[in-house]
Amino acid sequence: MNFSKSVVGLIALATTALCGTQAHGEAIAAMRAAEEQLILVGGATGRTGFRIVQLVQQRGYRVRGITRNRQGAIETFGNGIEWIEADVRDPDSLVAAFDGVDKFINAIGTESRGPENTPEEIKYRGLIALVDAAETAGVTYFGLISSGGVNDAATYIAQNRNDSLTWTFKGEEYLRASGLPYTVVRPGGMRDYPAGENGILLLQKEESSGLITRSDVAAVMVECLNNLHAIDKTFAIVNYIALDPESWREELATLQLD
């Protein structure tokens, strides 16, 4: 009996060691894969965009940030990443930005006012330029921060100034029809309170008008970079106090494909 137990114990130890070695090898391979990938972030100097930059760096990826003012970005955020000047209103400027890029996250917003920063120009025509540039460059993934309420612009009247939600939805549709692997994330009202204090509710059929911290939006976008369960899906996100702060990662697998 004792001999049998010893044999079983040795087999268990050998199996554990083998599995541990395999897991270690897979982890190293994943880290190397991250180091070999170049992630481009649109809107990298924004309040959500720079949070994405920081998380992408923490995951071990190489990072390039799009900015309209490279020197200003370096002075404000430092030169810890590669900054490149480009503008979605100038499609030719995007060619260099996407050169050598593996994956892209778009956090470009329309907070700046002016006739050249309308939702039509940025959220629709600008997104078309980004999608086209990504396709031409052979980008393998396109993550888009959209907006909550785009499916019901008539209800969200305040958020639909200048037809913002209408143009945002049209931009989404262009991305979905492009053939690029994508994730479209529709955050609720974004705020700057600390991350990880509440859970994150993922919604598809019914969207919520709740709030979510920008850091949590960034966490979702970066998770989707290498999560197969996020590909070709559109969903809304809001903070929800009753959920575990990490449960949303497993919930990605339950979402419906578009």
How high is the pLDDT of residue 28? 42
Q: Are residues 102 and 159 in the same domain?
A: yes
How high is the pLDDT of residue 155? 52
In angstroms, rounded to a whole number, what is the distance separating the alpha carbons of residues 84 and 64?
7
How high is the pLDDT of residue 161? 59
How high is the pLDDT of residue 193? 85
Give the start-end residues of each E strand in the chain: 38-42, 62-67, 82-85, 103-106, 141-145, 182-187, 189-191, 199-203, 211-213, 233-240
By residue count, the chain amounts to 258
Q: Are residues 4 and 49 in the same domain?
A: no
Q: What is the CATH number of the domain that holds 187?
A: 3.40.50.720
Residue-averaged pLDDT of the chain: 84
Query: In terms of DSSP bridges, do strands 233-240 and 199-203 run parallel, antiparallel, or are they unpaired?
Result: antiparallel
Q: Are residues 5 and 44 in the same domain?
A: no
How high is the pLDDT of residue 110? 72
In the chain, the number of structural domains is: 2
Q: Please enumerate in sequence order all residues whose Cβ is within 8 A of that of 154, keeping only pairs 6 or more positions apart, or say none.
A: none
Tell me the one-letter amino acid at 139.
V
How high is the pLDDT of residue 208? 62
Are 63 and 81 in contact by the 8 Å Cβ rule? The answer is yes
Q: Are residues 127 and 87 in the same domain?
A: yes
Are 138 and 95 in contact by the 8 Å Cβ rule? The answer is no
Range of the domain at 53: 37-254
How high is the pLDDT of residue 95? 98
Q: Are residues 30 and 56 in the same domain?
A: no
Are 213 and 191 in contact by the 8 Å Cβ rule? The answer is yes
Q: Are residues 60 and 154 in the same domain?
A: yes
Q: Are residues 205 and 187 in the same domain?
A: yes
Walk along the chain (258 residues) and give the pLDDT tens digit of each residue.
443 433 334 333 333 333 344 433 433 444 447 788 999 999 999 999 999 999 999 999 999 999 999 999 999 999 999 999 999 999 999 999 999 999 999 999 876 566 778 889 999 999 999 999 999 999 999 999 999 888 765 555 445 556 888 899 999 999 999 999 999 999 999 999 887 889 999 999 766 678 999 999 999 999 999 999 999 999 999 999 889 989 999 999 999 999
Q: Are residues 31 and 64 in the same domain?
A: no
Burial of 39 (0-12, 13-18, 19+ CB in 10 A): buried
Q: Are residues 54 and 168 in the same domain?
A: yes
